[in-house]
Amino acid sequence: MNERYRRIQRIDSTQFGRIDIAEDQLSGQKCVIKTIYKSSGSIRIHQWRMEVRVLSEIHSKFTSKLLDVFEDDNSYSLVQTYIPGDNMNLWMQQSYRKRRKLRKKLMMEWMNAIQDVHKIGFLYIDIKPSNCIILDQHLFLIDFNSCIEIGQSQVVSASRENIESYLMDNRKKEIETDLLGITKMMKRLFPFHISFRFYPFFIRKKL
């Protein structure tokens, strides 16, 4: 492992890789390290590289930031900003029913984050609450390893809960693909009317 970073808490670990909260010993700041083992196979390594690519290109106040990338004999690792908030699933259980205005604000920030992915030529695809962090009444989008280029036909990876016919067919995937996923998720999360009118007109008119 890169000696600059000291792992202090493991968030997740599988046979394919691990995710840790770490300390940058140069800055003293906490960060998140996502590691994929070289033995994981081409699809998972592709997903890791896709996340590096998207994070290196996106400029958004609604997403995590890429800080570093390094490699050793057995693995590849990316380092990104640590966002010490609540996973949206947890936030939903605790407080989301109490604050209607805040729910609307978070919904708009979610839409803005997805739009920022679209601006650099990618679809987010893996739209689900666990890929959002709530911190100080703001929403941040994380986990970009299922992104694909706009116009690509094949979805390389997506959560099982989002495996729908519009994702798995062989047609080219356009911005409308993410809009369908957003609408499906928003209707589940927020008890008020959701429509494409929330999406910026200059994007919507292309659909």
Q: Encode pLDDT of 55-93 as tens digits.
A: 999 999 999 999 999 999 999 999 999 999 988 888 877
Q: How far is CA 162 from the centre of its chain?
A: 14
- Distance CA(55)–CA(74), nearest Å, equals 23
Average pLDDT over residues 138-152: 93
Closest CA to 144 of 38, 19, 16, 50: 50
For residue 98, what pLDDT band results from cuts at 50, 70 and 90?
A: low
Among 19-28, 118-127, 149-158, 188-197, the minimum mean pLDDT is found in 188-197
* 205 phi-psi bin (left φ>0, alpha ψ -120 to 50, beta other): alpha
pTM over 0.75: yes
